[in-house]
Amino acid sequence: MSKETRDGEQVILVLNSGSSSLKFGVFAQADGDEKLLLTGSAEGIGRPDGSLRIKAPDGRVLVQQDHLLESQTDALKKLSQVLTEQGYARPAAVGHRVVHGGPHLRAHQRLTAPVLQRLKEAVHFAPLHIPPALALIDEAMKIFGDAPHFACFDTAFHAMLPPVAAQLPLPRRYAEAGVIRYGFHGLSYESLVTRLGADLPSRAVFAHLGNGSSVCALRDGKSVDTSMGLTPTGGVPMGTRSGDLDPGVLLYLMRAEGLDADALETLLNRQSGLAGYADGESDMQALEKRAAAGDEDALLAIDVFATAVRKTIGAYAALLGGIDLLVLTGGIGEHSADVRKRVCDGLAFLGLSEGNATGNVRVVHTEEERQISRHCRGLLRAEERGGS
């Protein structure tokens, strides 16, 4: 089958793998940017209330299923079937969002055998994300084996963090071994920089708030600090992740309860954060419903989350010497008016107020998949030029 669309354009398939979700998009180029041809998502993977949606750009639903999806590969197989049924071409390239590549993979690049081996060696940096990403890459390479596959790393946007942000307060030998602040949600933040363009002021703070959440300080469009650190577990409390903790807490758990590394990993990545406050519930919409009904645990979880985000924004205001623009994005940042209000309450002294006349607090839809497609098309063209 041709690697072009019905209009003769090359298409790129983008797979955005999250800890419990898979988003995807099919893009062609038009007017100098990436044009969306098909979009979809699989949410709640591994849960009985999981769902799969595939839509045309006009919003027309092509596939809508509500049932348990055992894995991301289940969703990928269905997507491949829909592409064939709708008459779309085989992709010219497949782009993968990869959360963490460790110290040796800090730039977007083709997924070769050595790169895949490096990625396997980096699993301990992001144990919640990398194993399902590797499984998805393996399955995608089987289904779309005739196309080059590219990895786009969330850490790449933060690769030039200044030493004051990147270096952790540990002996230097650990930094030399790759124990540094990497930062995440970089593709989301980069997409916001691209979308805002000339409207992006010198001093900005972006907050990507979802099941995984982070905050980033930007000067002139470049990341100068960010809340997540060595792994996506650090920073503000998240859906099931603890965020930053006093290291003494971990020492206590090891000594008093005998928890080993695997038990700590499960506790910190899957049982903590909002879920720890609210008896296992991590979904913000569900927490808001419970809070509205008077559930004190749910209310505390929401308040802790919003307060942690607000405190981080305040710290970055001190770092930048002020904030000219605050951008909220991600599933919670874009859709929860209550969380946005809680985050912004108390920031008036910085001149920040959602919905005010100056427009210095904005809600902007993140476009990670489009950003990945941009990178993949650039890498694909570079390869074609190199081979000509």
One of 49, 146, 154, 260 is an active-site residue; which one?
Answer: 154
Judge contact between 246 and 215, C-beta under 8 A: no
Beta bridge mates, 208: 214, 329
What is the H or E stretch that residue 292 is in?
helix 284-292
CA–CA distance, 141 with 26 (Å, rounded to integer) = 16
Active-site annotation holds for 338 = no
Region of residue 48 (phi > 0: left; psi between -120 and 50: alpha; otherwise: beta): alpha
Contacts of 370 (CB under 8 A, 6+ apart): 14, 25, 27, 33, 34, 36, 191
3 state SS of 299: helix
Residue type, 42: A
Q: Tell how far CA 118 is from the center of its chain.
A: 21
Q: What is the DSSP string of 59-122?
A: S-EEEEEES----HHHHHHHHHHHHHHTTPPPPSEEEEEES--GGG--S-EE--HHHHHHHHHT
Active site residues: 154
